[in-house]
Amino acid sequence: MINTKVKVLILRVAGTNCEYETKFAFELCGAHVDCLHINKLIVTKTKMFEYDILVLPGGFSYGDDISSGKVLANELKNILGDQIRKFALSGKPIIGICNGFQVLVKMGLLPYSDRCDQVSTLYYNDSGQFECRWIYLRIEQESNCIWTKNLPNIITLPVAHGEGKFIPINIQLIDDLNINHQVVLRYSSQDGNIPDYPLNPNGSISRIAGICNKQGNVFGLMPHPERYVLALQHPVRNNVKEEYGYGKIVFQNAVNFCK
The pLDDT-based confidence of 3 (bands split at 50, 70, 90) is: low
Distance CA 52, CA 14 (A): 24
Give the pLDDT confidence score for residue 90 in this predicted structure: 97
Per-residue pLDDT, 238: 59
Radius of gyration of the chain (CA): 17
Task: Looking at 80-185, list the stretches that DSSP marks H as alpha helix, in order from N- to C-terminal side.
Answer: 81-89, 99-106, 171-179
- Residue 94: which residues within 8 A CB-CB, separation 6 or more? 53, 54, 55, 56, 84, 87, 88, 104, 109, 217, 218, 219
Say how far apart CA 67 and CA 166 lie, in whole Å.
Answer: 14
In a domain? residue 215:
yes
Task: Indicate whether 239 pLDDT > 60.
Answer: no
- Beta strands 53-56; 32-37: pairing state: unpaired
Residue 107: inside a domain: yes
Query: Domain containing 109: what range?
Result: 7-258
| Average pLDDT score over residue span 79-93 | 96
For residue 40, is it within any domain?
yes
Indicate which residue of 19, 212, 226, 234 is catalytic.
Answer: 226
- Give bridge partners of residue 122 from the DSSP assignment: 166
Is position 101 within any domain?
yes
Residues in CB range of 169: below 8 A, 6 or more apart: 119, 120
Q: Which of 29, 224, 234, 258 is catalytic?
A: 224
Whether residue 2 lies inside any domain: the answer is no
**154-173: pLDDT as tens digits:** 999 999 999 999 999 999 99
Q: Is 18 among the catalytic positions?
A: no
- Encode pLDDT of 95-138 as tens digits: 999 999 999 999 999 999 998 899 999 999 999 999 999 999 99
Among residues 29, 98, 145, 212, which one is catalytic? 98
* Percent of the chain residues topping a pLDDT of 70: 97
pLDDT digits (tens, 9 = 90+) for 18-62: 999 999 999 999 999 999 999 999 999 889 999 999 999 999 999
- Residue 97 inside a domain? The answer is yes
Mean pLDDT of 63-82: 95
Best CA proximity match to 234, nearest among 127, 135, 117, 118: 135
What is the per-residue pLDDT for 240? 59
The mean of the pLDDT values for the chain is: 94
Within-domain flag for 1:
no
Q: Provide the pLDDT for residue 1.
A: 43
Q: Are strands 165-168 and 154-161 parallel, antiparallel or unpaired?
A: unpaired
3-state SS, residue 143? coil
User: In this model, does residue 242 exceed pLDDT 80?
Assistant: no
Number of domains in the chain: 1
Q: What pLDDT is stored for residue 192 in this prediction? A: 85
CATH of the domain at 25: 3.40.50.880
| 193 vs 77, more confident | 77
pTM attached to this predicted model: 0.96
pLDDT at 2 over 90: no
Confidence check: pLDDT of 148 > 80: yes
Position 115 scores a pLDDT of 86
Q: What pLDDT, on the 0 to 100 scale, is given for residue 194?
A: 84
- Catalytic, 181? Answer no
